[in-house]
Amino acid sequence: MTPYVDDRDAIIADLRVRLAEAEDTLAAIRNGEVDALVVRDDQVDRVFMIEGDGQSFRTFMEVMDTGAVAVDERGNVLYANRTALALLGRTLNEIQGRPLRQAMDVANAGKIEELLAQSGSLRHSMQLLMADPVDGDRHYLASSTQLRVGTVTGHAVTFTDVTERVRAETMEQGERAARAVIASANEAVVVCDRDGVVTHANAAAQAVYQNAPVGRRFSEMFPLVFPSATGLLQTDDLVEMAVSGSAVQGIEAVATEAPDVKDYLVSAAPLRVAGDQISGCVITMVDLSQRKAAEKHQLLLMAELDHRVKNTLALVMSISARTLSNEDSLEGFHKAFTGRVQALAATHNLLADRSWSNLSLKDVIASEFAPFVEHSAGRIHIDGLDISVAPRAAIAVGLIVHELTTNAVKYGALSNETGSISIARLSDTPDGETLEFVWRETGGPQVREPKRKGFGRTVISRSLQYSPNGSCELEFAPSGVVCRFAIPAEDLTTERKIFGSPEAMKGRLANSKSS
Amino acid sequence: MGTTEQKPPRRLVLYVAGQTPKSLAAISNLQRICSEHLPGQYEIEVIDLKQNPKLAKEHAIVAIPTLVRELPVPLRKIIGDLSDQEKVLVSLKIGDE
């Protein structure tokens, strides 16, 4: 570029080129298109960075734990610190001057592009998931803020490792779900640590002993007795076995010290939260009270049946023996014996129909009259006896009414066409007192007391004497037979079921075993 | 920097100053323009004046980055990060026709 001194046009052309170049340089500096200048200082050229070279900032960024990348407005990497290069798995040379998205996988590249496209000075963030060869997937929070480096506008992109936070959140969610499962369970669920101290207990568990057991030892808060383990297994052992890794399944236990003593089916299993390490145990307690009650009820039903069969056989044998001793002929025995057994059967039929629950006195009496009603319609009056009595009273009344009816048909009010029988309650019986009613015959032939005292009179006088409060008195009044019944108060409770109170049931059970 | 297959009498020199944003942008823009529009036509040399400031003298460089089209003559300078692709192409093609 040596100018020709003698060629003025050439000089002018050269000066024009230099002027244009100078103007270009000035315009470039003014427009921020350059970020360094060459300055001649004492005959030596030096490079001068406009707004400094940022080296001190880079040194600072290098020691940061947060990944930091500076990109220009087109997304090309200007600089990335050590942490950012490590998480991207690249060297600075590989990514400098190239789009940041090229340093990432497809999914994250899209997110980074989206992040950088968000304009304005606000900080924008997005979560990225990056594969880590050592630690599996790691979560990063990528944030972008507008940045001005020297004359360049771009973005500062930071990558904060939030893996631990995400994992903690995931674990917390899992724990929350587990707690919800425990809380929703109908069974009592108790979680203990390795020392047997309760860490969780759902509402059903807290209801067992009506307390807040968390923080206390399981064996103190839930003292259990294991009847089938004959004292060898204690509550502490249960926890110890589970914590040592042996699951205990379905052992029957009784919460003897609970306000509401109940039977439970108890299971205990080791609790493994992470890996194989046992961090405690989970104990579940299923309420067995309903099943136990059903078992007891069934046992009592069998005992009751046994008891009744024995009683009935004894009664039949007694009827047979006494009838035999009072009848002169085989025919007479057959008739009397059959009648008495039928009377017994009539009451039994009623009892069977009602599943051996309480019977109404009116029904019992009416069933004994049934064979004679056809001939005696309108002559028998039963009044005020729609009262429930226990089975033993029903059987006794049935047998007595049979004897009275047989006698009335043979000799009394039902032996002619004009007699009638009234069976009526004497007066309203207050609760807890003996019920009295009277059998009264009228209009029949004149009555004389028979000389011979047969088995029928024994049946009448003794059948209700199973209780000191029960009785039956027969009077041979000339105008007609009168018989006064007294039903023991304990057999009158209308609401009572077949076996009466639990205590009475236990007593009955004991008696039947010994009899 | 990359070389062409047939050693043409065309040569570009890009003056940069270390890894300043404009220097990095100029390198990346020049690579893109040459590979997309002038493949194999230019031999490119990148000179880092931060490492060797004396080399500024040869082309009387004042502002960085600056691209110098050394060959073919006439010599041309384009100052800035070369982000204006049209301007760069016009300057590089002068005298080609």
Cα A195 off chain centre by: 26
Mutate to test the interface with B, among A14, A29, A33, A94 (most CBs of B within 10 A): A33
Complete DSSP assignment for A443-491: SSSPP---SS--HHHHHHHHTTTTSTT-EEEEEEETTEEEEEEEE-GGG
CB contact under 8 A, B63 and A1: no
CB contact under 8 A, A35 and B22: yes
pLDDT in tens, A217-247: 888 888 888 887 766 788 888 888 888 888 8
Q: Which residue of A has its CA nearest to B30?
A: A97
pLDDT in tens, A283-307: 999 888 888 888 888 888 788 788 7
pLDDT in tens, A488-497: 988 886 543 3
Q: Is the predicted pLDDT of residue A498 greater than 50, yes or no? A: no
What gap in Å lies between CA A398 and CA A403, rounded to an integer? 9
Q: Which residue of B has its CA nearest to A26?
A: B63
Q: Is the predicted pLDDT of residue A126 greater than 90, yes or no? A: no
Q: Which two tokens stand for residue A4?
A: 């020709």
Q: Give the list of residues 6+ apart from residue A85 with CB closer than 8 angstroms, or none.
A: A91, A92, A95
Mean pLDDT, residues A450-457 taken together: 81
- Kindly list the residues of chain B whose beta carbon comes within 8 Å of any beta carbon in chain A: 17-25, 27-28, 49-50, 53-54, 56-57, 61-66, 74-75, 77, 79-81, 83
Which run of H or of E encompasses A381? strand A380-383
What angle do helix axes A361-376 and A330-353 make, rounded to 10 degrees? 130
Looking at residue A53, its amino acid is D
| Length of chain A (residues) | 515
For residue B6, give how far its alpha carbon lies from the nearest alpha carbon of chain A (Å). Answer: 27
In chain A, positions 146-185, which contact chain B (CB-CB < 8 Å)?
149-152, 154
Q: Is the predicted pLDDT of residue A273 greater than 70, yes or no? A: yes
Q: Which of A45, A49, A97 lies closest to B24 in CB terms?
A: A97
The model's pTM is 0.42
Mean pLDDT, residues A428-447 taken together: 85
Task: Output b/e per residue, A477-487; b: 16+ Cβ within 10 A.
Answer: eeebbbbebbb
Residue A46: pLDDT band with limits 50, 70, 90: confident
Q: Is the predicted pLDDT of residue B50 greater than 60, yes or no? A: yes
Q: Which residue of A has its CA nearest to B57?
A: A45
Residue A51: pLDDT band with limits 50, 70, 90: low
Q: Is the predicted pLDDT of residue A146 greater than 90, yes or no? A: no
Mean pLDDT, residues A335-347 taken together: 86
Complete DSSP assignment for chain B: ----SS--S-EEEEEE-TT-HHHHHHHHHHHHHHHHHSTTT-EEEEEETTT-GGGGTTTT--EESEEEEEESSSPEEEES----HHHHHHHHHTTT-
Rg from Cα positions in chain B: 12
Q: Which two tokens stand for residue A25?
A: 């340089």
What gap in Å lies between CA B13 and CA B60, rounded to an integer? 13
Q: Which two tokens stand for residue A266?
A: 């108890």
Mutate to test the interface with A, among B14, B16, B22 (most CBs of A within 10 A): B22
Query: What residues of A are in contact with residue B52 (Cβ under 8 Å)?
Result: none
Mean pLDDT, residues B39-50 taken together: 87
Q: Is the predicted pLDDT of residue A503 greater than 50, yes or no? A: no
Comparing A379 with A510, the larger pLDDT belongs to A379
Residue A463: per-residue pLDDT: 85
Residue A132: per-residue pLDDT: 76
Q: Which of B20, B57, B79 lies closest to A49 in CB terms?
A: B20
Comparing B4 with A368, the larger pLDDT belongs to A368
Q: Is the predicted pLDDT of residue A466 greater than 90, yes or no? A: no
By the 10 Å C-beta count (0-12 exposed, 13-18 middle, 19+ buried), A234 is classed as middle
Strand partners, A283: A190, A268
Put simply, whether A36 touches B (Cβ < 8 Å) is yes
Instruction: State whether ipTM is beyond 0.90.
Output: no
Residue A512: per-residue pLDDT: 39
Residue A56: per-residue pLDDT: 64
Percent of chain A with pLDDT over 70: 88
Q: For chain A, what is the mean pLDDT?
A: 82
Q: Which residue of A has its CA nearest to B84?
A: A33
Looking at residue B76, its amino acid is R
Comparing B71 with A129, the larger pLDDT belongs to A129
Residue A472: pLDDT band with limits 50, 70, 90: very high
Q: Is the distance from CB of A206 to CB of A249 less than 8 angstroms?
A: no
Q: Give the list of residues 6+ apart from residue A360 with CB closer than 8 angstroms, or none.
A: A385, A386, A387, A388, A389
Q: Is the predicted pLDDT of residue A510 greater than 70, yes or no? A: no
Mean pLDDT, residues A170-177 taken together: 83
Collapsing DSSP states into helix, strand and coil, what is residue A288?
coil
Residue A504: per-residue pLDDT: 43
Q: Is the predicted pLDDT of residue A421 greater than 90, yes or no? A: yes
Put simply, whether A14 touches B (Cβ < 8 Å) is no
CB contact under 8 A, A34 and B65: yes
Strands annotated E in A182-329: 188-193, 198-201, 248-254, 263-272, 278-287
By the 10 Å C-beta count (0-12 exposed, 13-18 middle, 19+ buried), B83 is classed as middle
